[in-house]
Amino acid sequence: MTKLRSLKQTTLLSLVLFTLCQGNLFADWEVVVSSDSSQRRGTPVSVDVKTDSVLAQAVEGKVQLVAKAQGSTSLVQAEKISPILTRLWWIVDRLAPGQALNYKITADGKSDAQKVFTWKESSKDGKTSTDLLQGKRPVLRYMHTAFDSKNIEITKKIFHMVFSPDGSRLITKGAGGLYPHHRGIYFGYNRCQFDGKSFDTWHAHKGEHQLHKSVLKSYSGPVFGGHQLEVDWNDREGKAFIKETRTLKAFSQPDGTLLIEFQSELKPLIDKIKLTGDRQHAGVQFRAAQEVAENQKKTRYLRPKGWDRLDPKKQYNDKKHMDLPWNAIQYDIGDQGYTVAYLSDPKNPGEAEFSERLYGRFGEFFHYELSKEKPLKVRYRWWIKDSRKVSRQDVDVRYSDLAQPVKVSLK
């Protein structure tokens, strides 16, 4: 009996030591989130912490973390960013100017399946696509049919379609319709010049094209969903001259709106490439649904201070329409109004020419000399609300998160 009791005690001690070595499942982290003079709404925040067993399980979805502050609780998403670091993400619902919130992040939450982002295959009629869902609600559709020289019009570029914030319909245009090369959220240049040649990845009529190569990362969880893509910009013979890494994320928003982030890095596969063109046929652009083109008289533009005296019923594309921090289009699909705000990171290259069209395409463009020593990096966000009742201040609040991020510090 003594030996049996001793064996049990030894086994129990071993289990305790093993648990301690693996990390405390109820360990917590204290984080301070503070704003400057800007008001904040639905702000994505993150902090990097040293990986332990709890975080390793959180990354795999086996443990749900939560962030608690002043009686509110937010779900936390864990992202592995290196062998030793984990990035913790959550959404700050509201933060007043100058306010600081003290968060405690702990592993005692339960995930709500209706709020988790996941990817689902949605290919149909010979077109390859995958949908990003939040619960059962569709958010984004990634179109990436492999290039076919016999079907150039359908297969010449990759792009993302956007669903309405409630997921009931697509609010962007795909192939076809007015100006069929305009599709959802897309990126291209109509003049990619090198070695005396010029390739058009905007219209892509002659065989140059963008080709999906792989999904480098896929993001799923309660805070955001998305992916990081490897994309080749190919010449007419199918040889890549630019390697792009494109990242899209959709963030959960407490007020039911939609927040999408786009990041891209272009690296040349030859020494130098001149990226040029004009504001109507280059850059990162958004194209609204075909129904908007058929009802252009209803389109309005909401612009930031400095451009607010321009007629909201008209489109502007002159030389003064440059370096806008943001711009917003308002349009109807059926009886439902929508506002789509285009937010440009101030770190993007300057002298950006903005283009507006009442039929629903808008975005900015800049010239760039691409080299191996100087790749191109851009970052944008779109904030989308299923209403026209949006003020200039509403968009300013969302832009502040991009231009002057909140301060996040680990205690």
CATH, residue 212: 2.70.98
Nearest to 158 by CA among 169, 144, 147: 144
Quote the pLDDT of residue 326: 98
User: According to the model, what pLDDT value does residue 110 have?
Assistant: 72
Measure CA 204 to chain center.
25
Q: Are residues 144 and 292 in the same domain?
A: yes
Q: What are phi and psi of 134, to 5 degrees?
A: -115, 105
Q: How many residues does the chain have?
A: 411
Q: Residue 3: what pLDDT? A: 41
Q: What one-letter code names the amino acid at 269?
A: L
- All residue ranges of the chain with pLDDT < 70 are 1-27, 109, 111, 113-114
Nearest by Cα to 67 from 111, 104, 110: 104
Same domain, 31 and 176: no
pLDDT value of residue 18: 38
Does 244 lie in the same domain as 124? yes
User: How far apart are alpha carbons 224 and 262 in whole angstroms?
Assistant: 13
Task: Taking the CA atoms of 111, 113, 115 and 118 in sequence, report the sign of the dihedral they define.
Answer: positive
pLDDT of residue 19: 41
Tokens found for residue 50: 């040293």
pLDDT number for residue 20: 36
d(CA 375, CA 368): 9
pLDDT tens digit sequence for 68-104: 998 899 999 999 999 999 999 999 999 999 999 999 9
User: What does the pLDDT read at residue 249?
Assistant: 98
pLDDT (0 to 100) of residue 261 = 98
Nearest alpha carbon to residue 368 among 272, 286, 281: 272
Do 137 and 261 share a domain, yes or no? yes
In terms of Cβ atoms closer than 10 Å to its own Cβ (0-12, 13-18, 19+), residue 305 is: exposed
Contact 232, 243 (CB under 8 A): yes
Is the Cβ–Cβ distance between 42 and 259 less than 8 Å? yes
The position carrying tokens 């832009």 is 399
pLDDT for res 1: 44
Planar angle of CA 44, 122, 87, nearest 5 degrees: 25
The strand ranges marked E within 182-318 are: 185-189, 191-194, 197-199, 209-219, 224-234, 240-251, 258-268, 272-276, 282-287, 300-302
Where are any strands of DSSP class E within 35-98? 40-50, 64-69, 72-80, 85-95
Torsion of CA 101, 104, 109, 112, to 10 degrees: 20
Q: Domain of 106?
A: 2-111
Of 73, 89, 111, which closes a domain?
Answer: 111
Percent of the chain as helix, strand, coil, to the nearest 5: 15, 50, 40
Domain boundary among 111, 136, 166: 111
What's phi and psi for 355, nearest 5 deg?
-120, 135
SS3 assignment, position 394: helix
Beta carbons of 255 and 42 less than 8 angstroms apart: yes
Q: Is the same domain home to 329 and 205?
A: yes
CATH number for the domain that contains residue 28: 2.60.40
**Neighbouring residues of 220: CB distance < 8 A, sequence distance ≥ 6:** 61, 116, 117, 118, 119
State the pLDDT at residue 7.
Answer: 42
Are 192 and 46 members of one domain? no
| Whether residue 192 is found in the same domain as residue 333 | yes
Statement to judge: residues 153 and 276 lie in one domain: yes
Rg (CA), the chain: 24
One domain, residues 78 and 107: yes
Do 49 and 169 lie in one domain? The reply is no
Question: What's the domain count of the chain?
Answer: 2
* Pair 163, 171: CB distance under 8 Å: yes
Is the same domain home to 215 and 267?
Answer: yes
Q: What is the pTM of this model?
A: 0.92
Query: What pLDDT shows up at residue 411?
Result: 87
Half-sphere exposure of 157 (CA within 13 A, CB side): 24
Q: Considering only CA atoms, which of 94, 119, 102 is closest in space to residue 38? A: 94
Same domain, 98 and 188: no
Which of 111, 130, 163 finishes a domain?
111
